Amino acid sequence: MPEAPPRLTAALADRYRIERALGAGGMATVYLAADLRHDRKVAIKVLKPELAAVLGADRFVVEIKTTAAMSHPHILPLFDSGEADGFLFYVMPYVEGETIREKLNRETQCGVDEAVRIAREVADALDYAHRHGVIHRDIKPENILLHDGRAMVMDFGIALAVSAAAGGRMTETGLSLGTPHYMSPEQATADKAITGRSDIYSLASVLYEMLTGEPPHMGTSAQQIIMKIIAEPVRPASELRRAIPPNVAAALAKALEKLPADRFESARAFGEALASPAFATSTGWVSSNVIGTRGWFAGWRVTAALLATGALLGWLARPSPPDPVGQVARVTVPLSEGYVMGDGIDPALAMSRDGSTLAYIANDALYKRSLDRDVTERLGDTPPRACCPIFSSDGRWILFSIGSDSLTAAMPVDGGAVVDARRVVNEDLVFGTYRQAISRRPAGDSTWHTIISSDSSGQEGGIGWPQLLPDGRTVLFTRFGPDMMVNGASVVALDLKTGMRTTVAERATYGRYSNTGHVVYATADGALEAVAFDLKRRQVSGSPVVVAEGVRVAYWGGAADYAISESGTLAYVRGSTWALHQMVGLDRAGRVVQRIGKPGTFEDLSLSPDGREVVAYVASNTADISRMNLITGELRRLTFEPTTEDNPVYSPDGRRIAYRKAVAARDQRIYSQAVDGSGEPTLLHREEEQFVVPRAWAPDGKTLALWASPSRLMLVDTERKRIDTVSMRASREGGKFSPDGRWLVWVSEETGESEIYVASFPGLRGRQQVSIHGGRFPQWSARSGELFFLAGDTLMVARVTTGASFAHTPPQPLFVTPPGTMSLNGFVVSADGQRIYYAAPSPDAVAHEIRIVFNLAGVLKAKPPR
């Protein structure tokens, strides 16, 4: 067993002396410890860090207190609970004995009388708890301790406390509450209304195993077990062991009914039936143990393994086409810890046409999950900025884009090297992200042809996310306003033959046609809605209905991480739209030393010269710039226009900021404004030809550097409003002035890879390459004489000398950031180089799970219009 973490040992040293680890489970690690205050042995359960991170200490402690007052001879009491240096723990008596699991591992079966006695003692404990409003939710052999032969239920109420403290977000941890073999059908189908009858089912499953040597349902994988729990009758225990009395067999039959209403009304009644030789049921083992029309999946052949308390415990067998009148099955797929799916701007999820397989891009790799398997397969590495995967129509290839390019890359569905998609896929394709055009590559053609362009008036900010509909002549796409925000977007259907456009939905994005005869689309608040759409007439009818909520939707650019198969299966990524980030401060070792303010979506950070504040573009329905105090976390809005204002940059004296205002695609304006909000903004430059953003002020406060697409540096004299333009080969990130104003740093892709360059200012002479193996987001520190930048996900630093000449040491790594975090939006560095600030992914925004909904037609039939 692993030793206790030194931080934990130190944090508990005044109360407990941890001696050794006793075991580890799905939620916690158990340690034997000495209670120093009471001179007794105790067992300390410490929740796993990833679970503790989701719960939070305050809520967990409040919830667990509701279980501490329970006192019953067959319930192991709770001595203590709390938080210690980030660890959440609870303390129980250390009891010599063994669990039922350990007993069954040794003996396989229990004597009939002994098994019934143990079950009745547990039923008595359950009855006591249920009458006090507490449901265990995780009754299993591992949680029943035998002390001198007497049953004691452990972790009573812990599952409830964890679930309540998580606020419904248990799936974010990748952990599960509940064990497949002992789950009730309502737990297996993620029913939120779990009652005491669920505990009765679980206890009956434990008794069944004590009597027969195996649980009621067995399988080689979790999905097989849960499928049987939902769909198959339980084999009578008396067929496996003739010594089981009729009343015990009958009590088991009733307690293992599929429908909660058909079970015992209380745990006490179950215990009494086990003890009464006269107890019998008229239905025996054949009533609702066999699913009929009132069962969980009437009208649909059940091939699904469903989840427990929101966390995936098994995958689904390959689904048959759903019956529109059947019930709806839902499954949650947790992603492995540390996986970052996509960048939150471009879509990263795909589903095969038959609905049997998922594919997604995460951590610069392509992954596949077949619905009839329990594992995720890593197919291979993808180039940087890969996005937008789709399956080929024959299911043999997964196509994806690199950046905003067309679907130019492909990987075999079973894994392998990335190849040119044109060599292996010959089918009619359309593609477009959030740019100015949508392209089509007809079958047999290797060239992409523009089929839709933005309005020449410039009032459209972009178009994208197309889908060619089954008639071969209609394209569904998203049309954006100049700010590229979802609130100003709409889903449009275009007849390629007549040019007729039909607006399907306003304030909507990423429309996808479903074979149910609906168009599904995403809204800014993360909902998926569906509206009936007559493809022949290209007309919308009726009111939309909400089919899912909490979907990850890009606030800018309108991508939504969901996919619909031709078989009627919907898959979507859970995530936040407006709270993607948590502002944090790191030390030079990469340790988080500050968590600042509330979660939000922060981009384009600029640090004030005194190091006390940052200004940032804060994505929201208003899309404005705000100031954040790095000590208090206080956020103050600076701009209030209905258009988007972004890319703020502090002036050297810290009294003003420069920023961009996007009035229209061909009307971008650069303003200067006082940071205290006084006075009116001053127009510094208006651009009608190219994309421009502020990058840095010169130290004298008179020159503002703008980056202009595709690769130019524009220098604005803020006093005389004069503009100088300098060509910077393949520049990506414009230029930033050194603290003495004599050198300029920028990023160029002229060698095919982003690298950091420095040259004198003005004139850009004496150019030197600072990075060696790639670099982005260069940042000078004002006083430490250092230049920081990112190489991939590694933060690098080089010591620099500026003045009449420039010199630098070879860059050295400081620390590695989690994949796809700091490298998305960059960072800022304090003047002394000791503190690094960036907008880290917030727990609510990182894609922790994929939700799958089978039988979309059933959802649409059951949902009322909004």
Which residues are the active-site residues? 138
Dihedrals phi, psi of 792, to nearest 5 degrees:
65, -120
- In 3D, which of 535, 534, 509, 536 has the Cα closest to residue 520? 509
The number of residues making up the chain comes to 866
* Spatial contact of 685 and 723, defined as CB atoms under 8 Å apart: yes
Residue in the block written with tokens 């919830």 = 63
- In 3D, which of 411, 311, 427 has the Cα closest to residue 361? 411
- In 3D, which of 90, 162, 520, 528 has the Cα closest to residue 310? 162
Distance (Å, whole) CA 310 – CA 843? 17
For 322, left (φ over 0), alpha (ψ -120 to 50), or beta? Answer: beta
Residue in the block written with tokens 């007849």 = 495
H or E, element range at 520: strand 518-522
- Tell me the one-letter amino acid at 650: Y
Q: Which residues contact 164 (CB under 8 A, 6 or more apart)?
A: 59, 63
Instruction: Tell me: cis bond preceding 215? Omega within 30 of 0 counts.
Output: no
* Spatial contact of 834 and 814, defined as CB atoms under 8 Å apart: no
Distance (Å, whole) CA 293 – CA 167? 34
For 653, left (φ over 0), alpha (ψ -120 to 50), or beta? Answer: alpha
Distance (Å, whole) CA 526 – CA 722? 44
CA angle, 423 as apex, 421 and 427 as ends, to 5°?
70
* Spatial contact of 660 and 693, defined as CB atoms under 8 Å apart: yes
Distance (Å, whole) CA 780 – CA 795? 13
DSSP letter assigned to residue 655? S
SS3 65: helix
